[in-house]
Amino acid sequence: MQEFAQQIINGISVGSIYALIAVGYTMVYGVLQLINFAHGDIFMVGAIVSFYAASRRIQPAMPWWLHVVILVAIAAGFIVPVLLGKRWQAALRRVLPFIILYLVLTPTLYLSSVISRSGRLPDSSWAMAGFALLLAIVTCGSMGFVIERLAYRPLRDKPRINSLITAIGISLLLEFGGQHRSVFGPTPQPYPADMVPGIHKHLMLPGIIVSRVDVLIVGVTLFLMAVLTYIVLKTKTGLALRAVSYRFDTAALMGVNIDRIISFTFVLGSCLAAVAGVLYSVKYPSVEPLMGLLPGIKAFVAAVFGGIGNIAGAVAGGLILGLVEVLVVGYLPGGSQYRDGVAFVILIVILLVKPSGLLGKHVVEKV
């Protein structure tokens, strides 16, 4: 019985991470009807950025050629539309977010490098953990924004399969880019999980032992879900988000700025993925560029399981998936070999039995 309780706790903890990633999938699917394959890799970016921050290895500046590439790209993005006959104000408005992002992120990079190298933050402290988490969130948020802007927005009125292929392309780009020597390299590296103070200790409850990692993960997830619920249900942006996901063009007629809402969705989902990435690597302290692949797919399965497009469903799906996975590993003979297969079996069963998922609505195709 005690073992069973331990398994359940472990399952909830794994499931919470899946839930955090799945929410990003489901929100993007809700507004865009697009499976954002790159979402699992944004999770990976979050883990790697926090790894660099916690091990004090952030470079103070990007290589010079990257500055040149970015500046040339921004200049081209402004000049080419003007030459093609667009009004310069419109062209400027399109590149303005990138200019702001560039102007904000360059000093941020320098500042964070100084902070992480100065030694002012102790190796194992909440300040260090918070710093790493914050940096991961900022990086992933801006990355989500840029990806949506550059890769998905131009394809929004094209057949959906094009966006799907682009998403696969971005996912490959992030994975292979991460495997390059100058970014991270292909070999897994140990993650400094003890940046969170006392993470290896356990809580002794009557009957069961709970590791602090699990408490941390479940606590953070609960907090973020509360925040997310507040944003979606109580704020004006959340109302707009729901409107867009309910009906795209009608929302536009009602005065909702669709582009802004979609960007917001991507940024929000990416931030949650960043948190999930940090938590995941604290639990399993090893990072590599391909680490986002399986959690990403499993989180997608969780999103489908709960009914894609439905945030509560994604959370429920993530938890159930985590539990099932842990129980299969724990109780089936040879179950650990099938750990990664479980998610796919669940996916196929749910797609065949109830494609709309646990909480999703049944959609009838009309002519």
Chain centre to alpha carbon of residue 320: 19
Tell me if 116 sits within 8 A of 131, measured CB to CB.
Answer: yes
> Which residue among 2, 85, 89, 181 contacts other proteins (CB under 8 A)?
181
Stretch that binds other proteins, among 39-47, 58-66, 77-85, 349-357 (CB under 8 A): 349-357
> Which residue among 88, 126, 223, 344 contacts other proteins (CB under 8 A)?
344
190 near other proteins, rule: CB under 8 A: no
What is the nearest approach in angstroms of other proteins to the Cβ of residue 160?
A: 5
C-alpha closest to that of 95 among 81, 111, 116 = 81
Q: Which two three-digit tokens encode residue 223? A: 């907090």
Pick the closer one to other proteins by CB: 188 or 355: 355
| DSSP secondary structure code for residue 361 in this structure | P
Task: Indicate the burial class of 13 (C-beta count within 10 angstroms; 0-12, 13-18, 19 or more).
Answer: buried
CA 195-57-178 angle, 5° bins: 100
Pick the closer one to other proteins by CB: 168 or 205: 168
Distance, in Å, from the CA atom of 111 to the CA atom of 351, rounded to the nearest integer, reads 48
C-alpha closest to that of 97 among 137, 51, 53, 153 = 153
> Which residue among 207, 249, 253, 255 contacts other proteins (CB under 8 A)?
249
Distance, in Å, from the CA atom of 2 to the CA atom of 10, rounded to the nearest integer, reads 12
What is the nearest approach in angstroms of other proteins to the Cβ of residue 78?
A: 18
Pick the closer one to other proteins by CB: 197 or 330: 330
| Alpha-carbon torsion angle 115, 118, 119, 120, nearest 10 | -60
268 near other proteins, rule: CB under 8 A: no
354 near other proteins, rule: CB under 8 A: no
Stretch 207-246: interaction string toward other proteins, x if CB under 8 A: ---------------------------------------x
Stretch 123-162: interaction string toward other proteins, x if CB under 8 A: ----------------------------x--xx--xxxxx
Q: Which two three-digit tokens encode residue 300? A: 């997608």
68 near other proteins, rule: CB under 8 A: no
Residues in the chain: 367
What is the nearest approach in angstroms of other proteins to the Cβ of residue 327?
A: 9
Whose tokens are 């489908």? That residue is: 304
- The radius of gyration of the chain from alpha carbons, rounded to an integer in Å, stands at 21
Q: Interface with other proteins by CB under 8 A: which residues?
A: 33-35, 151, 154-155, 158-162, 164-166, 168-170, 172-173, 176-177, 179-181, 246-249, 293, 297, 300-301, 304, 331-334, 337-338, 340-341, 343-345, 347-348, 351-352, 355, 363, 365-367
